[in-house]
């Protein structure tokens, strides 16, 4: 471990600082892609300018960070909507999150296929079957999301919910595929960011295989429920399992440092900004 730590410090000291700056710039690009996706979702409910959509996703991250599996995301986002649109906005958040989950499952399948080829085993095969079944269900459900509106109409006593759920019918297949494409691009940016940062830290992970295995890592993180700081433990365990234990990287410190850095950069930093925005919204209102 001492040798790995010294190697990590050496790589960090002598690493290409311009690449590190590029990695940092990928973070706001990631947030902007999510804001664009959110803006498209809101175009069917209550159109928002991009600046407000951007602020909205930052407050959503602030709420998401302190709730299991980021379920508080919708609560932060709808702060910027009028009262009559809040419930519809929460439903739109579910559509956006579902699109991102579909993409994660697709990358999880590709990652598991690669993992089964290079590191075959029983749990790898079981995980692949689970991912295939989950992705098939999620993709079908996502492309037929309007069915939920019909289901809600079975409960006429929940009038507000029934009326709000009708917004699902406004999203055409073309709209859903457009949102899915942005989710795909966002995941690629996030994935590339992680792979670049661990290699700058000295992990030495092959780029092509590493890209798909890191996609698998994010699939595991998605399907394993976690809460705030516990998320660090999950990330550390999964990163070690997929990169260090398999021999893809001989430097466990670099992989862990990269995993935690990406967590800080893409979750903690925007959450802090979002928390400040939440306070400003409350003060001005």
**Digits of tens for pLDDT over the chain (285 positions)?**
556 555 655 656 665 667 888 888 899 999 999 999 999 999 989 888 999 999 999 988 888 877 766 777 878 888 888 888 888 888 888 899 899 999 999 999 999 999 888 888 888 889 899 999 999 999 999 998 888 877 777 776 666 777 777 888 889 999 999 999 999 999 999 999 999 988 888 888 888 898 999 999 999 888 886 554 456 677 778 888 888 888 888 778 888 888 888 888 888 888 888 888 877 765 445
Q: Tell me, yes or no, whether 285 lies in a domain.
A: no
CA gap 100, 175 in Å, rounded: 14
At 282 the pLDDT is 54
Q: Look up tokens 């009038």; give the residue.
A: 159
Q: What token pair was written down for 283?
A: 């003060």
Whether 204 is covered by a domain: the verdict is yes
Q: What is the pTM of this model?
A: 0.86
Residue 185: which domain range?
A: 2-41+54-278
Distance CA(152)–CA(11), nearest Å, equals 56
Contact (Cβ atoms closer than 8 angstroms) between residue 76 and residue 59: yes
Residue 244 lies in a domain: yes
- Number of structural domains (the chain) is 1
Residue 48 in any domain: the answer is no
How far is 61 from 54, CA to CA, in rounded Å?
A: 11
Tokens 């306070």 appear where?
279
User: Can you count the helices (H) and strands (E) in the chain?
Assistant: 13, 0
> Would you call 64 exposed, middle or buried from its count of C-beta atoms within 10 A (0-12, 13-18, 19+)?
buried
Q: What is the pLDDT of residue 107?
A: 94
Among residues 70, 95, 55, 31, which one has the least CA distance to residue 284?
55
Does residue 49 belong to any structural domain of this protein? no
Structure tokens at 161: 């919910």
What's the pLDDT score for residue 284? Answer: 47
Q: Which two tokens stand for residue 95?
A: 């559509």
Please check whether residue 263 lies inside any domain of the structure.
Answer: yes
DSSP state for residue 224 in the 8-state scheme: S
The answer to the question of residue 284 being in a domain is no
- Cα–Cα dist 118/152, whole Å: 46
Q: CA-CA distance, 35 to 29, in Å (whole number)?
A: 10
pLDDT of residue 13: 62
Residue 46 resides in a domain: no
The answer to whether the beta carbons of residues 193 and 27 sit under 8 Å apart is yes
């Amino acid at each position: 471990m001492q040798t790995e730590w010294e190697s990590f410090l050496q790589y960090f000291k002598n690493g290409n600082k311009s690449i590190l700056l590029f990695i940092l710039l990928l973070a706001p690009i990631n947030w902007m892609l999510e804001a664009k996706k959110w803006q498209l979702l809101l175009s069917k409910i209550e159109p928002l300018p991009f600046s407000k959509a951007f602020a909205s996703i930052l407050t959503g991250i602030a709420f998401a960070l302190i709730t299991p599996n980021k379920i508080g995301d919708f609560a932060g986002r709808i702060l910027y909507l009028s009262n009559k649109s809040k419930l519809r906005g929460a439903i739109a958040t579910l559509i956006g999150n579902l699109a991102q989950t579909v993409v994660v499952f697709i990358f999880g399948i590709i990652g598991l296929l690669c993992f089964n080829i290079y590191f075959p085993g029983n749990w790898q095969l079981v995980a692949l079957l689970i991912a295939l079944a989950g992705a098939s269900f999620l993709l079908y459900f996502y492309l037929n999301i309007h069915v939920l509106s019909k289901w809600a109409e079975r409960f006429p006593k929940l009038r507000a919910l029934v009326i709000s759920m009708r917004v699902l019918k406004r999203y055409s297949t073309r709209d859903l595929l457009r949102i899915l494409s942005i989710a795909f691009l966002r995941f690629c940016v996030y994935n590339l960011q992680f792979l670049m940062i661990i290699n700058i830290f000295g992990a030495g992970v092959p780029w092509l295989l590493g890209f798909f295995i890191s996609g698998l890592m994010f699939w595991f993180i998605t399907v394993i429920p976690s809460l705030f700081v516990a998320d660090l433990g999950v990330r550390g365990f999964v990163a070690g399992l997929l990169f260090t234990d398999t021999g893809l990287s001989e430097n466990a410190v670099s992989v862990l440092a990269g995993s935690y850095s990406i967590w800080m950069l893409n979750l903690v930093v925007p959450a802090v900004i979002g928390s400040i925005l939440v306070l400003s919204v409350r003060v001005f209102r």
